[in-house]
Homo-oligomer: A and B are copies of this chain.
Amino acid sequence: MNTIDDELWSAIGDPTRRRMLDLLLAEGAGTATSLSARLPVTRQAIAKHLGVLDRVGLVHSAAAGRERRYQVDEAQLARAVAQLASVGSAWDARLQRIKRIAEAIQRANDERQSN
């Protein structure tokens, strides 16, 4: 049931990293400096996050002259999205089941009332 890779999840769990991924996806690529210009944290913080994202394989980097460009690894992000979806649907299923049970109890009570 629990096929969750906590590393991947915690990588996308951080709000700053989620926004970084958003930006990288929207703009195709970016550097620590370019990302920090659009986020309310310093370049160094961004650099650390890029390190984390790189280690779990969500982004790749390539040196380009004096700058280092990062871009999203689409396959890996797709895997992460799939995990999100799987957790969501697991909870959804449980919630549905609870709802059905609650309704069954309600129905039983209603019938008891009408006797």
Q: Which residues of A contact B (CB under 8 A)?
A: 2, 4, 6, 9-10, 13-15, 18-19, 21-22, 25-26, 74, 77-78, 81, 84-85, 87-88, 90-92, 94-95, 98-99
- Copies of this chain, tallied across the complex: 2
A84 neighbours in B (Cβ, 8 Å):
84-85, 87-88
Q: CB < 8 Å: which of B6, B21, B77 contacts A15?
A: B6
A98→B25 contact, CB < 8 A: yes
Return 5 A-B CB contacts under 8 Å, by A number: A25-B95, A74-B95, A74-B98, A84-B87, A88-B88
- Per the bound structure, the CA–CA distance linking A81 and B92 in Å amounts to 7
The secondary-structure label for the interface of chain A is helix
A85 neighbours in B (Cβ, 8 Å):
84-85, 88
B9→A94 contact, CB < 8 A: no
A9 neighbours in B (Cβ, 8 Å):
13, 15
The 5 closest A-B pairs by CB, nearest first: A13-B13, A84-B88, A25-B94, A6-B15, A81-B88
